[in-house]
Every structure is written in C-alpha cells, then in structure tokens.
C-alpha cells in the first residue's frame, strides 16, 4: 500500500528509531511491502521507515534498474537493511548531489564517506555484511541517517549548492516532487 511520505518539519523525522526485535513477522513484511510500494510510486532511490511514520530501523534501497530521479547513477542492488551499522573503511569523503522524498523538489551537495562497510539483517533476520563505495555507499549513508533522525540538508556544508531541482537540474524528470 502506498503510504503518505512525511516531509521535513515533521518532528518524528528528527527522532532516533528503535531496533527491530522480531524478524519474519507479518507486521514487518507489511511494513517493507508498504515502503516498497511508496518508494516505487515516488521513483525513490531508497526509503526509510520513519519517512512513512514508523520509527523502526528499517531501510530499503536499490532497484536493480536505472532510477528516473538519478538517471546517471549506477545500479544499486535491491536491499532491505534492518538494524544497520555503518563503518567507514577510511577517512576519505566525496561530494555528491542528493535529494530526498521528505524534502521534495530540492537537491543539495553532501559530503559522504567514499568507502564503507555496512552490516545488519534482512527481513528474515539473515545477516548482511557488505562493502560499498561511491553512489551505493552514499545511498546507504543517506537512508541510515533517517534512522538517526538526520536529513541530508543537515549535512550540507556549502549552502550555495542547495536549491530547487527545477532550477539546478531542469532536465530531470522530477514531476513527482
């Protein structure tokens, strides 16, 4: 079911989310299905449970196909990640443009770790342990930030590179936000 996406300003988006205690439950399956429907309907590269009003540590990202909102981005494997932990593999950061379904119609340049290791669990409680870099690493850091109550504008260091998508990237198919 497509759920309404909470927008920046909503107090719950700034709260830390609780860990999932039980895996493989119908409630968890329904939450993930709703996140999937909502992400697809909005052409998102990822979505976090707090964005649909559920403050649990669940994110989904990737699509196994090209994303219309990020047409130049590499494909990121479709992943459900629960109770994640992110560890930078070194100190290097890189800048990149980000958008967020909770900050519709805007983009900004955000520094993120270039290379990370991320661990967590899938919806059945099976461990996930991966290394990622570049756009994949960026998406994971962006989505997991939602679980700590952080939205990407809070990470922007140069506010002159934050603005409306329609002005910055008029060529992008961004009608939905």
Comparison of 60 and 82: residue with beta carbon closer to Ni ion: 60
Burial (CB count within 10 angstroms: exposed 0-12, middle 13-18, buried 19+), residue 43: middle
Comparison of 39 and 82: residue with beta carbon closer to Ni ion: 39
Quick note: the x/- pattern for Ni ion over 62-101, rule CB under 5 A, is --------------------------------------x-
With CB under 5 A, what is the number of residues at the site for Ni ion?
A: 1
Comparison of 100 and 106: residue with beta carbon closer to Ni ion: 100
Q: Provide, rounded to whole angstroms, the least separation between the CB of residue 101 and Ni ion.
A: 6
CA-closest candidate to residue 64, choices 50, 78, 80: 78
Comparison of 124 and 148: residue with beta carbon closer to Ni ion: 148
- Give the active site residue among 22, 143, 157, 171: 143
Strands 115-121 and 106-113: unpaired
CA-closest candidate to residue 142, choices 84, 98, 108: 98
**DSSP notation for 21-64:** ---S-HHHHHHHHHHHHHHHHTT-SEEEGGGGT--BSEEEE--S
Give catalytic status of residue 95 as yes or no: no
Quick note: the x/- pattern for Ni ion over 96-135, rule CB under 5 A, is ----x-----------------------------------
Can you give the binding site for Ni ion, defined by CB under 5 A?
100
Active site residues: 143
């Amino acid at each position: 079911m497509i759920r309404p996406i909470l927008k920046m300003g909503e107090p719950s988006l700034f709260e830390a989310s609780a860990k999932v205690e039980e895996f493989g439950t119908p409630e968890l399956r329904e939450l993930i299905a709703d996140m999937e429907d909502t992400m697809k309907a909005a052409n998102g590269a990822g979505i976090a449970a707090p964005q649909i009003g559920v403050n649990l540590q669940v994110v989904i990202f990737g699509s196994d196909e090209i994303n219309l909102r990020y047409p130049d981005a590499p494909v990121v494997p479709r992943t459900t990640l629960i109770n994640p932990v992110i560890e930078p593999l070194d100190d290097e950061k890189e800048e990149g443009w980000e958008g967020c379904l909770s900050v519709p119609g805007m983009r900004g340049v955000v520094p993120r770790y270039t290379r990370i290791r991320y661990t967590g669990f899938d919806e059945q409680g099976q461990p996930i342990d991966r290394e990622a870099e570049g756009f994949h690493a960026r998406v994971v850091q962006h989505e997991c930030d939602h679980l700590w109550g952080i939205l990407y504008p809070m990470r922007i260091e140069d506010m002159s590179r934050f603005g409306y998508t329609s002005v910055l990237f008029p060529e992008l198919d961004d009608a939905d936000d």
